[in-house]
Structure 1
């Protein structure tokens, strides 16, 4: 099977500390169990401002306002070295929370989101200045409701209040009187996921210079379940997102696999393009409202700001390979099989060593690995360690076991072939795919030759199996691909091997000349 081109990407953050405070999973559970706890009393005072979030280096990397190389060189801790706030980057934006509430209303087709009329008017003016929001989206924003009408919906009809600057700015109503799957809480989670996905898709369409009607198919890969009491999780988030973005010629479906979902969705979309079934396939991932402030209890204990305040989203456009775009190779996809086992070494081998070995490539033939790219300033205080760094060391240790690397070279391997974690702990969002935009830039510029995107999923969270899951794929620069690599492998040595041996020889020669 041939390669598939990556025409464009988009990455967005929706700043949402008040949604996090009231409806994030950890604060919500605490509020039910201990409504007067010290944690809940302290949490509001630990919220970042929008300016702080927009100046925070990892957030800027996510939207493309800063490169991963710049992040690696930036002074740490990043929290103590804020930069200038930037709303927009090469890939997308960090949308303020009031505008996100307005965007929720834009994405609502069942009159579930009610905004107070003065708030709606103010937010309309702000959203009109967003370069990704078109007239068709803006026209969907309702004029709003009286504050008394919103208060009645909250007090008597099970609606959830929506806050802006500490005051009620609207509400999310339930979609059914008795079906808990259509409760206001579930509908708010699903609408937030949908809205964040729509924003990323709109930015991707703009970045690619396309019309929404050019999109043939959408594959959506968030973790939310869409349905009712008869079919919880039936879907289809993909078509719901495509509808609001104006993709009238698109169909779509959802791919779910916890944190492995995005990598699996990219592979599914690429397979459709490579087979000729679809021409322009958008892979979209909306964010997770319950994951907001997930580790905030630990952040509060350690005197830190509550950092998990943004819903992440992304969109990637896959097209036929025409020789001018970075590509995904489909001749060797990594998969974690049922029989592979759940040991970290087995998972790492299945997703990295095995697909590379099938191509005659070594673990050292990949310039950049992108596994779980969680921001360590979020995970370390919570006791989860530096997740990306642990992955790089695991891959390096595997290379040592396979005789492809010396033990003393492990730290250098991790430093040079790894990427600093820069992604919010949104479960599926950090899993490799956020690096694809940066990888496309580096591959097109020729600063790297090959990257590997790795997604790993914890299926046991659903209590149906103890299995883990995973998927991976290789990215290469324009004009590189399977036919040439396959021919080199058939000859017993890859082109990269020859190049590296020549470079090593030249380096040794230069060193000898300097000594003499």
Structure 2
């Protein structure tokens, strides 16, 4: 059977300042300090123009190379890029009004109600977007009286929706006593569906693949769709595919904390290699819970709240096309149950063991993509520079193997690593945002290989103390299909 390739990538960001208050951390702080916390959040939100011009966001959609961030003075939020575009070779940055329109299109149970005065704003945003201008406006056209919104918020547990600083509607629960169908949970699931839809739609357009030719969709979002009898039962893959017109595809959801995208890609590689499916789409929508996660650190330092965007990713896995970089299936790295959970144990499993199987040295891999969280978000929140810490540990392994000397670690990090540039959306920063950059660089001849490494904290679910992880290597396609 033909070796699989990742033939196309899609990355989108959605600016959602009106939803920051519903992130897990902001929501708890607002409940404890209803006046001061919400006011602090509202006073530190960014404009759409600021989000577009923010250098890491331009890297995410492909207008800037990751290493270019090394040449931009920090803090990056104080050095916006002039003439930045919301459109990039890999995707787009969406404004909130377009996203609300897609949310309403994705709403099959009338969970979202839009006020009459807000309908023209959403319809205009949809009509002017090249991918969505032909969408059925019927759902969006049904505006409701603001008095009805007032009543639902006051007496039915509905949550208000905001755009451009004013209320535009609400989202409601769908069962009186099922907490899994409460407004907050349904909002989280619907945001994942809508942002995943934007990512998959962008993928299909960029790859010039008809939606009807997708065979399988694997969703790796961090939501838990279900009801009281089957919490986290799933179904988002097919829900996203339905909205994108993938009528010939089936699908399921892959859950593995932050390693979800790599597991989904690994399953896609295996299924294509086995000949069961020819075109598999891997998709991941954004995480509402992680909006504003570090907002207190940002506010305390007089920064804007940088966790005001949802991320979305999508990848097309196909048979070997003779040009896209190939995945080395003989060098998949995995973190075994008995491997141990120290940082060294994990990286030995994900870096050293697969490289040994392929007969490669650490220094022979041109670039390593690890957890690529934007350090400007995490350092101010007390979590440190996650990518840098990972790269220094890989460099330390190279020292132990006598491939470099200890004084050369900083140079190793600069040459084989990259600055983090991704929103802290859990699964979104898990190495794969570099795939588009790596594929282009390998096809240009600027790189010969790149390794993708993701790790997951299984202990967060309180069912095990274990960690998790996967890795794979991407190399230049020799140009021969079998």
Consecutive unaligned residues of structure 2, counting only runs of 5 or more, are none
Equivalent residue for 1:162?
161
* 3-state SS in 1 of match to 2:332: strand
Partner of 1:312, secondary structure, is strand
Note the 1:113-152 alignment, pairs <5 A.
113-133=112-132, 135-136=134-135, 138=137, 140-152=139-151
SS in 2 for 1:299: helix
1:429 corresponds to which residue? Answer: 428
Query: Residue 77 of structure 1: CA displacement?
Result: 2.1
Instruction: State the match for 1:448 in structure 2.
Output: 447
Equivalence map 1:182-197=2 (5 Å): 182-197=181-196
> Aligned residue for 2:7?
7
Partner of 2:370: 371
Contact 2:97 2:125 (8 Å CA) reproduced? no
Deviations 1:410-462 (A, max 9, x none): 11110011011000001111010111111111111110000011110011111
Question: Where do 5+ consecutive residues of structure 1 fail to align?
Answer: 484-516
Deviations 1:172-217 (A, max 9, x none): 1111111000001100000001100000000000000111111111
Q: Secondary structure at the match of 1:46?
A: coil
Q: How far off is 1:298 after superposition? A: 1.0
Deviation of 1:329 after TM superposition, in Å, equals 1.6
Q: Which residue of 1 aligns with 2:64?
A: 66
- Correspondences of 1:272-291 after superposition (within 5 Å): 272-291=271-290
Q: Deviations over 1:136-181 (max 9, x none)?
A: 4655534322222222222222211101122210111111111000
State the SS of the aligned residue for 1:340. Answer: coil
C-alpha deviation, 1:70, in angstroms: 2.5
Task: Give the conservation status (yes or no) of the 8 Å contact 1:369–1:453.
Answer: yes
Mapped contact 1:2–1:329 kept (Cα < 8 A): no
In structure 2, relative to structure 1, the CA distance for the partners of 1:76 and 1:122 (3 Å cut) is same
Q: Pick the structure with greater CA Rg.
A: 1
8 Å contact from structure 1 (residues 137, 245) kept in 2: no
The 3-state SS of whatever aligns with 2:8 is strand
Once the two structures are superposed, what CA deviation does each residue of 1:487-516 show, in whole Å capped at 9, x if it has no partner?
xxxxxxxxxxxxxxxxxxxxxxxxxxxxxx
Aligned pairs for 1:55-454 within 5 A: 55-84=53-82, 85-133=84-132, 135-136=134-135, 138=137, 140-454=139-453
Q: Which residue of 2 aligns with 1:508?
A: none
* Other-structure match for 1:47: 45
CA distance in 2, matches of 1:335, 1:48: 39
CA contact (8 A) 1:454 1:472 kept: yes
Q: Given that residues 106 and 140 in structure 1 are in contact (C-alpha distance below 8 angstroms), is that contact kept between their aligned partners in structure 2?
A: yes
> Does the Cα contact within 8 Å between 1:132 and 1:199 map onto a contact in 2?
no
Distance in 2 between residues matched to 1:327 and 1:113, nearest whole Å: 43
Q: CA RMSD in A?
A: 1.6
SS at match of 2:161: strand
How far residue 74 of structure 1 moved from its aligned partner, in angstroms, is 2.3
Give the whole-Å Cα distance in 2 for the aligned partners of 1:39 and 1:482: 58
Distance 2:163 2:78 in 1: 27
Change (3 A) 1:2 1:405: farther
**How many residue pairs get matched?**
481
Q: Deviations over 1:259-287 (max 9, x none)?
A: 11111111111111111111110110100
**Partners of 1:475 and 1:137 in 2: CA distance:** 40
Q: CA deviation at 1:102?
A: 1.4
Query: Within 2, Cα distance between the matches of 1:80 and 1:184?
Result: 36
CA distance in 2, matches of 1:474, 1:20: 36
Distance 1:481 1:475 in 2: 16
3-state SS of paired residue (2:277): coil
Aligned partners of 1:363 and 1:149: how far apart in 2? 62
Contact 1:388 1:421 in 2 (8 A): yes
Go from structure 1 to structure 2 and tell me whether the alpha carbon gap of 1:481 and 1:349 turns closer, same or farther (over 3 Å shift): farther
2:27 is equivalent to residue 28 of structure 1: yes
Preserved contact between residue 322 and residue 481 of structure 2 (Cα < 8 Å): no
- Give the distance between the partners of 2:383 and 2:448, measured in 1 at CA: 32
- Higher mean Cα deviation, 405-414 or 64-73? 64-73
Scaled by the length of structure 1, what TM-score is found? 0.90
Q: Give the 3 Å change call, closer, same or farther, for CA 451–134 of structure 1 in structure 2.
A: farther
- Is the CA contact (8 Å cut-off) linking 1:372 and 1:388 kept in structure 2? yes
Query: Cα–Cα, structure 1 residues 321 and 140, in superposed 2: closer, same or farther, change >3 Å?
Result: farther
Which of structure 1's runs of 4+ aligned residues deviate more than 6 A? 480-483
**Once the 2 structures are TM-superposed, how far is the Cα of residue 336 of structure 1 from its aligned partner?**
0.5
Distance 1:458 1:171 in 2: 34
